[in-house]
Every structure is written in C-alpha cells, then in structure tokens.
Structure 1
Amino acid sequence: MTQTDKSKQKQVIIIAAVVLIAPVIIGLLVNLGSHDIEDVRIKMEEYLYDRYGEEFVVDRIGTRSGYYEARIYPKSIIGTSKEDDSYYYSQAGIKIERKLGNVGDGYDIVLLNIEGEEYLKPKAREMFGDKIKLKTKIRYKKKKEGNDYFSWQIRSGFKELLKKSVNNSETHRIELQLFIYIFDRIETEEEKEERRREIFEFVQYLKEEGLYKYLELGVIFIDERVLAPGYGEYSLEVRFSDKEKVEIGGKKVYLPPLELRKEMTVKLQEEIDKMSEEELLERMGRIKKSRLDDLRGYNTQCGTFIYSWGMLEENYSSSLSRRDKSRNYSKLEHVELDNGLKYMYLSRKE
C-alpha cells in the first residue's frame, strides 16, 4: 500500500468516526437542554402563582446536578422586615431536558414554619409578653404503608398535620424545633423563678397540644439593650476588639474589654430608658429571623433548652446517656434557667 493510499484510508476512518459520534454528541447536547433563562423564570413564576395564589420573585437562576435552580420568595415581603431574610426564602427547580419539564419547589417548608409560628404565638405572648420573637423549624414525617420508618414529607397545613399526628401517631409525626427569644432582663431571683414557672407552664401547653413528644425548645433571654439605636455601632467594636480572658463560675471565657463593656452597659441603658414600649417593639420587629442566632453569646443573660426523650432519640442519640429519662418536665424542678456564660453587660453593682 502506497503512502497516498494509507493517507486516504486514515481520512476514511476519521470521517466514519465523526459520522458515528456526531449524532451521539448532538443528542447529548439536545438532552441537556438549551433554554432561555427568561423562559425558565416565566415557567417558574406561573407555576408558583397557580400553586400559592400570589406572585413570586424568581431570581439567581443557575444549574446544578442536571436541574435549573432558582431562589424564590413572595413579592408581598418586599419592603418589609422579611425582605432579605433567608428564613422566608426557598428554592424551585426544573429538570434540564429537551423541553422544560415540571416545576418543583420547597416553599411548603417555609409555609409550615410560618403556620406553626402563628399557631403558637398567641400562647407564647400570653406567657412571656409582647417583646418576643419566635423561630420555628417544623418537620412533618409519615410512615408509608410497607415501611418501618418515618420519612420527611414536604407539606404545609400545620393544623391539619398536627391533627393527624395526634390522632394517628403510629403513622404521622410532627417534630418541632421552637426557639423563643425574649428581649428583656431578669433583675431578681424572684423574677427568675417566675420566668422559670412560665417556661414550665408553656411546656405543659405544648403537651396538651400534642407537640411535646418530638420537641426541642429553646427559651433565650436577650438583653433588651440590643434594641437601642446605638447597639449596631457598639456591636462592631465588640466584634473587632481584643478579648480578655475572664473566669466565670470556674470556667474561663473570653469577653470584650472591661472598659468597653462598662461604657456599653451605661450608654445603651440610657438610650433604652428614653424609648417607649412601641419604639422597642418596632426595633425588635426589624430583627431578621435568620440573624437571631447572631444575638446569642454576649447578649444572652440566661436561657434554657428543653428536649423531649423522643427528640433526643431521633436527632441527638449521643446525648441519651447523659440524660435522665424520668426528666419529662412534669415537675417545675425539671426546668433549669442557666446564666449566659459570655454575657457581657455589667450589673448595677459592678
């Protein structure tokens, strides 16, 4: 075979390979989809309006694991304290195919949390006062026919699901994580005892409602000075200050410098004293739920965390050995209200 013949043979092989492979490549590209992002947005918006009866913002559209994904939130929260609060945001997705498929979303998770909060808020306010913010994380789980385990179901409709979990606990379950932030200070031992009693009574209410079996409850007292107009500036000073090692209750902790803490204690209290109850509530209302955890630590005067045995078994099994099973919060003595170890404000005596 001449050199020319060999060259022609190679060309034939290459052409044949291209002919065979090209349809496969084209097919893959078609299956991956090539859609206008605006078409994806419109399809999601239409789906969300049909499903929830209100207009949604669909933004940050991207691709991941073969899906178009987007951030979603109701247009109705724009201009309110809920805007830019991730607690009220969710995701929607569409599988990337030749044609845009069905839309799926997780906004029911947000709705269930909101519904649970609205259900619990009246009693919480009755027990703890108006200067509170609730943050819930609720999971509805169901044991499907033929299974011996509970699986998480993305559903909303808190009252209906609660009724199912109460009437058919063998196949339906609600797991409730509830954090109550109380913007107040406890000044005396008598007041502390009264607050402890309030927490105990609230737990009894949750038992009556069928919400204790799988419960994680946190009641955190946040110093109300975080509501003062000057708190934001001071919080930056605290964040970037050189911390001092201090021994509290036999434990070593790191706190902002003493002089800064003295100044904050006095200046912020002066601001609080000049504010009306309405102004304090308005300032509290601005705090985003996704930022509530950031207020813990230096601002927590005291708090308690209560776990039912069922919740420990499901989510914190490593803690079972450290917990007395008889501590079922049927007695006031079961409720402990511990001081915040890193609480930075000074008492009037200091």
Structure 2
Amino acid sequence: MKKLFRILIALSITVLFLSCGQKATTYEAKEALSKHLVERYGEEFEIGYMGKRSDGKEVWYEAEIYPSKYVGTPKERDKYYHRRGTVNIKKGILGDRLGFVGDTYGKVKINESAEEFYEKKLKELFGNNVLQVYDIKFNRILKDYSFENIIKIWKEEGVRLTIIGGIYIFGRVENDEDREWYRKQIYEFIQFMKETGTFEYVDLGINVIDERSLTEYFEKNKWKILEAKQKYKTSSEFIAYRDKIFKEAEKEFKQMSQEDKKRKINSYLKFNFTSENMIKNKDNGYSVIYHTGLVSSKFIDSEPRARDIKKREYNKIDDVNLLNTMKILYDEYIIREDKEIVEI
C-alpha cells in the first residue's frame, strides 16, 4: 500500500513538473477562435496575425478577422468589414489554458442588416445608385441578426438602438428644382424611419454625390480639384472649376451601363466613407455636392457633444436643410463665412 502511495505521489509530482510553465500557443488560440466563429456565424473566417495583449489584469490573444468569402474582393481590403477576435488566457498552477473566446464581428452583421432593411425604400426614393455606411450601436449578442429582430428586442427589452452613419446618393443636382426634389425625398425617408420606429436615436448624414464621379475620368482628375482649392480665392470659383471636371466626365458617364455604375460603387472601400475618414481624407468628399445631417432630438439629449445642435422634429419639409458641401470644404470643414453657406 505504501509502495502504491509512493508511486502515485511520484506520478503527481511528474505531471506537475511537466505541466508547470505550459503555454497556451497562438496555434491553439487560432483553432479555438476559428471554431467559435464558425459556430456563431456559420461560415469560415480569415484570422490575421495573433498577438498577446494585456490590460494589467487579464491577458488574451487578439487578431483581426473577416469572412473568408471576401478573399479576392474589394471587401478583403475594406476595414469596414474587419473586426477583432479574442481568446482569453487563464493562468494556473498547471500553466496557461485558453478561456473565453469572443469577437466583435456582430457589429458588422448589424450594419449589414440595416443596409438590407433600408435598401428597398432608398431605391424607391433615390434609384439604384446608393451607398450605405453605418456604425450602429446595439450592445447585444444575437442569434438572429435581422433588423426586424433588432427593433423587436429594442422595443421589448430596452436595449438602445443608435443609428450612426452616412447614406451616399449618386445623382444630379443642376437647379433649384433638383434640390427641392432631393429635399422632398429625404423628408420621405425620415418619415419611413419614423414609421418603422428607427428614428429615435439617430445621427445620420445624407449626401448627394454627383453621379459623374463614378467615371474613370473623374477618378484620374480629381487631384486637379485639390490643386484648385489653393489656386482660387473664392468658393464660387472653386466650385465652377469642380463643375468643369464633372462636365468633362459627361461623355464617359453616358456610355456607362447600370452594371458599370453599380460595379464602381461596390468597388469603393466603405471605411473611407465613414464620417471620420471623410474629414481626414478630404479628396473623398469633393464629389459630394449637397449634405444634410439628420440628428434626432433623443440623440441630442443623450450625447453631450451634440447638445449645441438645433433640435428638429422633421414634421415638415422645411426641417430638412441641404448645405452646399463644396462651400464648406473650401473652408476646410470650418464654416468661417456664413454667407458662403447656402441653406434651402
């Protein structure tokens, strides 16, 4: 009996010695994360470089992730579709072991769900050439990512749904009648958001982009607009030069099929159209001709940085103000001369 006891003690010490200092490897962490993503989203993911992170209390592995189906497409390079995957590391007397596995890709699923939800109405109001870019806040892990389910959970459980982002409409504004038409269509879209209960916490920019910016001519010559900004002394001269570039792109635009236009829109990296990047990379904005910011009253009340914004209930078309974006861009996104800003 004593001999057996000594053998068990020896085995325990051996196991403890072999286990002590054992590390949870990046390979094991990647395997755990890959399995987790397939189980949660039902598809394979690409997992980038996995590094170890710490906040002083916990340690975890972290890597950039995006769906494998996007490999070889513009979305592979688009940070809009990239998120983070994490695998916690638990430390014990027997060494490290993998703990909780999580990810933030649900945010992309929510954004895409919103795009699907609003797409039909946007096409009905503005045509086929629309680009939606969202950064929606909804703090909940879901099994059903349909926007209808998100709205249902919000209403029933009080998990706040905050819709932040931008909608880019490729069209043409050549006179006051065109501007009034866009204002009316934007108003109708707001009413749709109200009807669907999604206009409570909203900070949404709607931008009208000259459709001729879809041409290769404009893409190759937009740098001239950047140079012109330094050359001309007034925003009127600057805008006239920008419009000249658009007119020179007219012939090519007329030869584009609807399929060509859609292909061009789908080639854009949505990450470059987020509000932060539109400001940082101003050349993205020189094709935007009119802009309006839709900010709901509840959002203003809930966001300290927004409290200086004038509240509008959008119960009438007059609440929809369109700003001449070029006049704002001419002043480096800072409105220095009120007379240069046209509100309609």
* Secondary structure in structure 2 of the residue aligned to 1:174: coil
Where does residue 265 of structure 2 map in the other structure? 284
Where does residue 323 of structure 2 map in the other structure? 338
Where does residue 209 of structure 1 map in the other structure? 196
Following superposition, the deviation at residue 236 of structure 1 comes to 4.3
Assess, with a 3 A threshold, how the Cα gap between structure 1 residues 172 and 93 changes in structure 2: closer, same or farther.
Answer: closer
Assess, with a 3 A threshold, how the Cα gap between structure 1 residues 239 and 96 changes in structure 2: closer, same or farther.
Answer: farther
CA distance in 2, matches of 1:60, 1:120: 35
Contact in 1 for aligned 2:53/2:61 (Cα 8 Å): yes
CA distance in 1, matches of 2:67, 2:289: 36
Contact in 2 for aligned 1:301/1:343 (Cα 8 Å): no
% identity of equivalent residues: 29
Following superposition, the deviation at residue 120 of structure 1 comes to 1.0
Assess, with a 3 A threshold, how the Cα gap between structure 1 residues 331 and 262 changes in structure 2: closer, same or farther.
Answer: closer
Assess, with a 3 A threshold, how the Cα gap between structure 1 residues 60 and 241 changes in structure 2: closer, same or farther.
Answer: farther
Where does residue 61 of structure 1 map in the other structure? 50
CA distance in 1, matches of 2:309, 2:64: 41
Matches within 5 A, 1:106-117: 106-117=104-115
Aligned counterpart in structure 2 of residue 186 of structure 1, from 164, 173, 176: 173
The one-character-per-residue Cα deviations of 1:109-161 (angstroms, maximum 9, x if unpaired) are: 11111111111111111111111111122112xxxxxxxxxxx3354623222
Normalization by structure 1: what TM-score?
0.76
The one-character-per-residue Cα deviations of 1:43-88 (angstroms, maximum 9, x if unpaired) are: 2111111221111111121122121100111111122332211111
The one-character-per-residue Cα deviations of 1:272-294 (angstroms, maximum 9, x if unpaired) are: 12222221222112112112235
Following superposition, the deviation at residue 240 of structure 1 comes to 6.6
- Equivalent AA in structure 2 for residue 305 of structure 1: G
Where does residue 95 of structure 1 map in the other structure? 88
Assess, with a 3 A threshold, how the Cα gap between structure 1 residues 99 and 227 changes in structure 2: closer, same or farther.
Answer: same
- Equivalent AA in structure 2 for residue 56 of structure 1: F
Where does residue 302 of structure 2 map in the other structure? 314
Where does residue 72 of structure 1 map in the other structure? 65
- Equivalent AA in structure 2 for residue 297 of structure 1: G
CA distance in 2, matches of 1:91, 1:343: 34
Where does residue 9 of structure 1 map in the other structure? none
CA distance in 1, matches of 2:77, 2:47: 14
Where does residue 118 of structure 2 map in the other structure? 120
- Equivalent AA in structure 1 for residue 27 of structure 2: E
Contact in 2 for aligned 1:127/1:198 (Cα 8 Å): yes
The answer on 1:81 being equivalent to 2:84 is: no
Assess, with a 3 A threshold, how the Cα gap between structure 1 residues 188 and 237 changes in structure 2: closer, same or farther.
Answer: closer
Contact in 2 for aligned 1:184/1:221 (Cα 8 Å): yes
Aligned counterpart in structure 2 of residue 34 of structure 1, from 11, 18, 23: 23
Larger Rg: 1
The one-character-per-residue Cα deviations of 1:244-267 (angstroms, maximum 9, x if unpaired) are: 253237xxx9x59x87x5763343
Normalization by structure 2: what TM-score?
0.77
Where does residue 287 of structure 2 map in the other structure? 299
The answer on 1:269 being equivalent to 2:250 is: yes
- Equivalent AA in structure 1 for residue 315 of structure 2: S
- Equivalent AA in structure 1 for residue 67 of structure 2: P
* Secondary structure in structure 2 of the residue aligned to 1:47: helix
CA distance in 2, matches of 1:111, 1:262: 38
Aligned counterpart in structure 1 of residue 205 of structure 2, from 201, 218, 225: 218
Following superposition, the deviation at residue 296 of structure 1 comes to 4.5
- Equivalent AA in structure 1 for residue 119 of structure 2: K
Contact in 1 for aligned 2:163/2:203 (Cα 8 Å): yes
Q: Which runs of 5+ in 1 are unaligned?
A: 1-25, 141-151, 345-350
CA distance in 2, matches of 1:234, 1:342: 21
Matches within 5 A, 1:121-200: 121-140=119-138, 152-155=139-142, 157=145, 158-167=147-156, 171-200=158-187
Assess, with a 3 A threshold, how the Cα gap between structure 1 residues 322 and 182 changes in structure 2: closer, same or farther.
Answer: closer
Q: Which runs of 5+ in 2 are unaligned?
A: 1-16, 91-95, 331-344
The one-character-per-residue Cα deviations of 1:227-255 (angstroms, maximum 9, x if unpaired) are: 11133332345557772253237xxx9x5
Number of residue pairs aligned between Structure 1 and Structure 2: 293
* Secondary structure in structure 1 of the residue aligned to 2:148: helix
| Aligned residues: CA RMSD | 2.7
Following superposition, the deviation at residue 269 of structure 1 comes to 2.4
Which runs of at least 4 in structure 1 moved beyond 6 Å after TM superposition? Answer: none
Following superposition, the deviation at residue 343 of structure 1 comes to 6.8
* Secondary structure in structure 1 of the residue aligned to 2:132: strand
Tell which deviates more after alignment, 175-184 or 159-168: 159-168
